[in-house]
Amino acid sequence: MCDAPLAVMTVAELRARGFGYPWVRTALHWGAITRVRRGLYARPWACRDLLLATAHGGTLACVSAARHLGLWVLDDATEVHVWLPSRHCYKHDGCECIEHWDDGRSGVGTMAPPVRQILRQILHCRGVEEFFVVLESALRQRRADAADLRWLRRHTNAAAREAIDLARQRMPTAASSPSFAGASATSA
Ligand SMILES: [Zn+2]
Ligand SMILES: [Zn+2]
Ligand SMILES: [Zn+2]
């Protein structure tokens, strides 16, 4: 997991935390931050994938976001999956980005999407096997709960619902507990 908080911040995110232009200017001068692109700054602990995704104009998505959060991922390709707020993106060095535009981008700025949205991105981009592996990992780490499973059931397909049932069965504790029972209530 390389989710050091606020490793990359927009000017708006900095300002909301009380870091105005004088701070940015001094921090740049001292090397406490570097400029990713106009209006976007990185702390020294920002990981490669986050730097590339934000340089591209979005934030981490799909398997890149899952890996960044410390979830188990099968995919070990170097391409970075980027969640873009619009069709607009930026060219940058070493760009091999895979773009995602699915809606519901509530996390403004550089925050990764919610885990359930990451899971849906993985389903459509990488297929149901990868979806299952990451879902199991999310349940095991308690980063997905019954409400997330219900949302996924409503917003995915039959193959995903089968994977959700299988992942729940294989969970000895949390996900098979009564509080998760409602997750299968909307089974189609
Ligand atoms: Zn993807
Ligand atoms: Zn990372
Ligand atoms: Zn790129």
pLDDT in tens, 130-182: 999 999 999 999 999 999 999 999 999 999 999 999 998 877 665 555 555 55
Summarize pLDDT for 67-77 with one digit per residue, the tens. Answer: 999 999 998 89
Q: What is the whole-number distance in angstroms between the Cα of residue 91 and the centre of ligand 3?
A: 6
∠ Cα 101 146 128 (to 5°): 50
CB within 8 A of 30, min separation 6: which ones? Answer: none
Q: What is the whole-number distance in angstroms between the Cα of residue 17 and the centre of ligand 2?
A: 22
Summarize pLDDT for 105-128 with one digit per residue, the tens. Answer: 544 467 788 999 999 999 999 999
**Does the pLDDT of residue 41 top 90, yes or no?**
yes
With CA atoms as reference, report the closest residue to 4 among 35, 49, 36. 49
What is this structure's pTM?
0.84
Q: Dihedral of CA 83/87/90/94: which sign?
A: positive
